Structure formats: C-alpha cells, structure tokens
Amino acid sequence: QIETKSEKDDLLTKLEDHFKISKTQEGPTREWKFCVVAETSPNETLCVTGNCQSLGNWKHEHVLQLKKEEDTNIWSGEADIPLERTVDFRYCACIIPDLSIPQNVSKNVIIRRWETNINPRIIGKNVKWSSSAQPDEFGYYNNKHQIERGWLTTETAIQLKLFNNPIVIWKKKLEGRKIYIKVTPVNLTNANSSQENLEETLSLENMEIKDVEQHSTISEIAVLNESERDFKQQEQFGRLFNTGDFITFQVQTHNPETQAILIDFYTYGSRGSDGEPPHHIGFSYILPSSMKNSEGQAVVPITSIRHRPIGQITVEYLIVKPIAKQLCDMKSSLQKQWKESWRGLDVGHRGLGSSFKGEIKQCADVRENTIASLKTAASHGADFVEFDVQLTRDLVPVLYHDFHVCISMRKKTSQGDDADMLEIPVKDLSLEQLHLLKVYHLEEGKK
C-alpha cells in the first residue's frame, strides 16, 4: 500500500525504468520493437500501421518503416506506443517514393500488400516487449493466412491486354515460331531528351538501366487461367504467348504523362541448345500520346533490332486512376471475408427471369418486372431480386426494362418487322396510357 507522495513517485520511477516509459499526447508510452519475417520483391519495404500516432493511425502515408536485417528475411523497427491501452496493428509491404526526386515530394506510399484478417494483431496494455519474442510471420496470425493487394493512392495503373491473336509477324523466317513477350515501362524524361534519339534507347538490349528501373514504378503480368491469374513479376525474357491466351500486363506509375511502354519480343532458335537464351527479334513501343482516353486500342509496328518493320501487335489498354478525395485506411477489410463453403448469391434477374429475349420456350413463365415475378423468385430461394424502375410522364414509378415501348400498328403481326411497330419512350406516356397497353413477346403476336 502506498502511503506517501514520495513512495508513489518512487514507484512511478521504477515503472518508467521497467517499461522505458515516456509521455506524449497519448499518455505514457513504452518502447516496442516490431519484428517480422517476410519475402519481399525489389523496392518493397515492410512497414507497420496501427491505431496510435507512432504507427500512423492506420493511414498509409504515415506508416512506420522497418529495416531489413542483413542476409535475412527479417524486418525490424522500434516505436513508442501507448502503455495504458491496447494497441492494434498490421504489417504491410509498401513502396516508398524517393523524396530526393523533386516530382515525388507530393507522392504517397504505394500499398503493395497488407494483412487483411478481420481482427488486427494486438499488443495488450501494460505489456512489456521481450527480447526473447519470436518474429511474426507476415500475413499469418490467429491460425489464418490473409494477405491482399493494396489500392491506388496517387499512382496510376496502365493495363495492356493481349487476346484474340494480337501478334502478326510478316517475316517469313519467323512464321510459326513461339513468341515471348515482355513489357517494360520507360521514363521518357530520363531516357530521351529529344525525339531524335528516341529509337536508339527504346530497345531493352541497348537501353541504360537507369532509364528503365524507377523506384516507384511497378510492372506485372497476369494470365486468365487458374495458375497465373494473380499479378506477379515478369520473367527475364517475358512470357510465351499461346493461341487463345488472354494476358494482362499492368504498369503502376506516378507519372503516366511521361511513361512510355516498351514491348520486347523473343524467340528461341530452331537449333538452340538447352540453357541457351532466346533471340531478341524486335520491339514495339506505345507512347503516352497513344493512350489519351481511359480505354482504347493501339496498333503498333514490331520493329526488328535493325529498325525494320517485321510485324504488328494490337493492344487493348485501360488506364485506371485513383478516386479523388476517397481516403482508404488499413483499419479493417471485408474484401475476402466469405466462408469457404460459400458459392455465391442467387439473384433473380428482373424477378424470375427475362420474358422478351430469345425463343419463347427460354423465357420466364411469369412476366418479368412484375410483383408476381418478384414473389415467385423469392419463393424459389432467390437471395435478391433485380428489377428496373422508370418514371412515367406523370412522374409515377413503374417497373419496365426498356426505355421504349413498341406499339404494334396491326392487330396481329405477320412478319414482326420493325416497320409494323411504333416506338415511344416510356417517359412520354402516362400511367393510364401504359395500363392500356398489352405487353407480349413478338412471337406471341404472330399467333
């Protein structure tokens, strides 16, 4: 029992020494060493975020950066965290912009991967860090491994999609050869000071490495199949394009306006031996001026290493920018919190199904977008029902899918031609006028 003020002060001093306590706006704090084992890609840094000031209060721009211990996969770092309350935290793999480059000063941390268990890691109140504690494992705790990709902060994602046999080779010597493709982002402000020397630097074979490698630019590949569906780093000589493949290359960059895309093409010789690298047969490039819209198509020539056209490649592109003023944090995520037994939701389309598409035998038994259709779908186990709402001329909401109604000019349509139909917008008809119409399938009208 503490009886005097001096005894109380002595006890507080001992506690401060024991927990290495300091005082901040969050009250007394303790020194804590975070230590985690993680496999990282080049340019990635392991970081910590949590529900206190020293851990950034879940904000990605204020994460605590860890340092990698030499010759290991262990990352560690220290911070002063609140003593008298529980501290929640998560690990995340980030790319930190190089602030020595002036244009990167306003750029944010890129969140590559982060722990997304529903409940975060916990440090109990008044718990002291122990030097004998084992390192954490990135993504694994509470007997569950859960890591998801991050989101766009200030960077832009450029996707290039190859499908439907996009490569055409004109050179007969290369006909029938298997082609490997690799995509590399090129910073035009570094690689080219003028248009004159553009072609001299765009082949990966003769490009200076500083022009290609940018600290905060990421290049990845994903293929639409079970084993390659997740984005990952490219192989040294790219990926083989097979007939029927759907390949997506993704480049994330802070400077899309100066980011050109270099596409290199490789093939193996017919008499090549095992272990021999492929031949570099040519390259293409897509300049930012070719991707002015948010989506579109670019058809560019394939140029040989002797600067002669040998074919062309057709690329569908998509440019994705972060949502302005939409702030995300790492406090929680419900993105993948479905039970493994869950197989999806049954949603009734227009109620029990469409009534006006395809043959009559394929149409729903109950007329679409009606109360009866919605109730029948629900009684058959639908989790949700989807329906279409429009306003009539007298501002009454009605259920109807198309923006127009087609009124038959004949009592029975013999041919079902468009000439026999008068098309009127739903919004131009009153509720009373709509009630006078008999809605039926075109095939029904012929009978």
Q: Where are the alpha helices (DSSP H) in 331-403?
A: 371-379
Does residue 5 fall inside a structural domain?
Answer: no
Q: Taking the CB of residue 103, how many other CB atoms lie within 10 A of it?
A: 12
DSSP state of 132: T
Bridge partners of 45? 94
Q: What is the pLDDT of residues 21-38, one digit of tens each?
A: 555 577 899 999 999 999
More confident residue, 102 or 266: 266
Pair 142, 235 in one domain: no
| Boundary-marking domain end, from 149, 171, 195 | 149
Does residue 421 fall inside a structural domain?
Answer: yes
Does residue 194 fall inside a structural domain?
Answer: yes
Pair 407, 378 in one domain: yes
Pair 233, 365 in one domain: no
Q: Is the pLDDT of residue 264 over 50?
A: yes
Does residue 124 fall inside a structural domain?
Answer: yes
Q: Is the pLDDT of residue 206 over 60?
A: no
Pair 189, 299 in one domain: yes
- Please report, for residues 95, 151, 213, 335, 402, the alpha-carbon distance to residue 148 in angstroms, rounded to integers and kept in the order given: 15, 10, 25, 9, 40
Does residue 375 fall inside a structural domain?
Answer: yes
CA 82 to CA 53: how far, in whole Å? 9
Question: Do the beta carbons of residue 304 and residue 323 sit within 8 Å?
Answer: no
Pair 40, 172 in one domain: no
CATH of the domain at 97: 2.60.40.10
Structure-token match 């005894």, residue found: 7
Confidence of residue 318 (pLDDT cuts 50, 70, 90): very high
The reported pTM is 0.68
Does residue 20 fall inside a structural domain?
Answer: no
CATH of the domain at 297: 2.60.40.150
DSSP state of 140: E
Does residue 89 fall inside a structural domain?
Answer: yes
Confidence of residue 196 (pLDDT cuts 50, 70, 90): very low
Pair 167, 316 in one domain: yes
Pair 59, 116 in one domain: yes
Confidence of residue 369 (pLDDT cuts 50, 70, 90): confident
Q: How much of the chain exceeds pLDDT 70, in percent?
A: 79
Amino acid residing at 406: C
Pair 282, 168 in one domain: yes
Confidence of residue 208 (pLDDT cuts 50, 70, 90): very low
Q: What is the pLDDT of residues 135-165, one digit of tens each?
A: 999 999 988 888 999 888 889 999 999 999 9
Tally of domains within the chain: 3
| Boundary-marking domain end, from 121, 149, 177 | 149
CA 140 to CA 146: how far, in whole Å? 7
Confidence of residue 444 (pLDDT cuts 50, 70, 90): low
Pair 79, 190 in one domain: no
Pair 205, 124 in one domain: no
| Boundary-marking domain end, from 284, 301, 320 | 320
Structure-token match 């109360």, residue found: 371
Does residue 335 fall inside a structural domain?
Answer: no
pLDDT confidence of residue 31: 93
pLDDT confidence of residue 14: 62
Residue range(s) defining the domain that contains residue 207: 156-320
| Mean pLDDT of the region 382-399 | 93
pLDDT confidence of residue 210: 44
Pair 94, 122 in one domain: yes
CA 315 to CA 330: how far, in whole Å? 35
Confidence of residue 194 (pLDDT cuts 50, 70, 90): very low
Pair 386, 404 in one domain: yes
